[in-house]
Amino acid sequence: MIDLLLAKLHSQSIAMRSQSLDRRTSTRFPAADRWLLMTILFIVGCRFENRPAKIAPPPETQSGAETTPANLPLADFRPEPMLNVTKHPLEQARFPVVDVHVHPKIRLENSTKRLDEFVELMDAQNIAVGVSLDGGLGEQLNAHCKYLWTRHRDRFVIFANIDWQGKGEATNPATWDCQQPDFGIRMAQQLAAAKEQGACGLKVFKDLGLVYRNPDGTLVRVDDPRWDPIWAACGELGFPVLIHTADPKAFFLPIDATNERWEELKRHPEWSFAGPGFPSYDELIEQFLHIVARHPQTTFIGAHVASSAEDLSAVCRWLDTYPNLHVDLAARIAELGRQPYTSREFFLRYADRILFATDGPRAAERLKYHWRFLETYDEYFPYAENPFPPQGFWQIYGVGLPDEVLRKVYFENACKLISGVRERHQTFVTRAVSPAP
């Protein structure tokens, strides 16, 4: 019917054009034809109204624009796993713990109130002793001892730190103390004084190798022979050297679509050491291993699983090669927990060489994930309490360590390596068994 009406209209149009009508006149269809035209348009409109509309691609997301499934920003992506598995959430560690990697000065900002709150948290989580890595030297060490030990001497031991800059200008490495010819010997003497002040180890930050520079602009090497007196002195003093060299391997790769830590590095581009101006990951690890090899009488603790939790086979080789090398777990359960079979074998094989650590103080929620990772076989659970995972888009699995291994990792190894820990740990245990009336 519609086709017939359209044909009639078409014929009418041809007839009008054949009469050479002047378009400037007010030519009109007869009344019957106007009615016919209106009917046709109505019917055709109804036909098109019922057709599915073509969906235009969504416009680019603008600030404040309504979010749709098609334009959801990655920063707002919060997948909730549908996996239904057995869960064993833990409220505290099974055995009294020694955390060998804590930064109370840095994270608690020298607040006595926050320190008291942290000690209460330690009690609740069954953390007996914390190893503060923020001691400094000289007056800084005295001040840090006062901060921690005025009220909590039985809960903390303290590692010293080297001041490489001294009174030099921050932007002029030639004026830095470490560029003076007697620096290594003077630092060895100051470490001896630090032991008298109560320090029991040395913490070296990753800035050595990645930040500090020589007068010619080159980065100061970890294995520079000028620092040998420092490492040798630590061996003589019984100071373990807890040293952070390099960073996760992904931090040395381009921040591109293949980098598994892209999201983290997008939020913190200053954490990237890719490109010119920085040594490679392998170069830094080689420098670290050089000093471990050159000083077999000195105990070295590689922070963050020696910055190689992604490659435990390499860590195994190093532990087999260097009897004076140990590793801590600080801030690496995310890496260890995504390879539970390999990690469990690693813990069982090197139970005497691994020390518990958190890079804390940490919130209770984060600590509970540590206990769950080490003590249970739970599957696919978070490694951090952050709404956005701090290291990567994955969950972790527990390694279910036996009690004998847990005891070594949690406290026995630290008691053997670090002076002052055993006595404090025993005090905590005794007090827990026989609380004061």
**How confident is the model at residue 271, as a pLDDT?**
95
- Whether the link from the prior residue into 279 is cis, omega within 30° of 0, is no
Question: CA 280, CA 21: separation in Å to the nearest integer?
Answer: 84
**How confident is the model at residue 42, as a pLDDT?**
44
Per-residue tokens: 110:
């020298």
Question: CA 300, CA 292: separation in Å to the nearest integer?
Answer: 7
Which structural domains are found in the chain, ordered by start? 97-433 (3.20.20.140)
User: What 3-state class would DSSP assign to 339?
Assistant: coil
**What is the pTM (predicted TM-score) of this model?**
0.84
β pairing state of 354-355 and 97-102: unpaired
**How confident is the model at residue 275, as a pLDDT?**
87
**How confident is the model at residue 75, as a pLDDT?**
72
For helices 281-294 and 228-237, give the axis angle rounded to 10 degrees.
50
Q: Closest Cα to residue 245, out of 303, 189, 318, 200?
A: 303
**How confident is the model at residue 437, as a pLDDT?**
60
8 A C-beta contact, residue 112 and residue 151: yes
Q: What is the mean pLDDT of each run of 10 residues along the chain (437 residues)?
A: 46 43 40 47 44 42 64 81 94 98 96 97 98 98 98 98 97 97 98 98 98 96 98 98 98 95 90 94 98 98 98 98 98 98 98 98 97 98 84 92 98 98 98 72
Which positions ≥6 away from 173 have C-beta within 8 Å? Answer: 179, 212, 213, 214, 215, 217
CA dihedral 404, 405, 411, 416 (to 10 degrees): 90
Question: CA 3, CA 44: separation in Å to the nearest integer?
Answer: 10
- In order of 306, 325, 422, the CA distances from 320 in angstroms are 14, 9, 26
Question: CA 110, CA 4: separation in Å to the nearest integer?
Answer: 91
Evaluated on CA atoms 14, 18, 23, 26, the torsion sign reads negative
**How confident is the model at residue 43, as a pLDDT?**
45
Per-residue tokens: 23:
């378009």
Question: CA 319, CA 375: separation in Å to the nearest integer?
Answer: 24
**How confident is the model at residue 436, as a pLDDT?**
59
Among the residues of 180-332, which ranges form H helices? 183-197, 207-210, 228-237, 262-267, 281-294, 303-307, 312-321
8 A C-beta contact, residue 413 and residue 355: yes
Question: CA 105, CA 360: separation in Å to the nearest integer?
Answer: 11
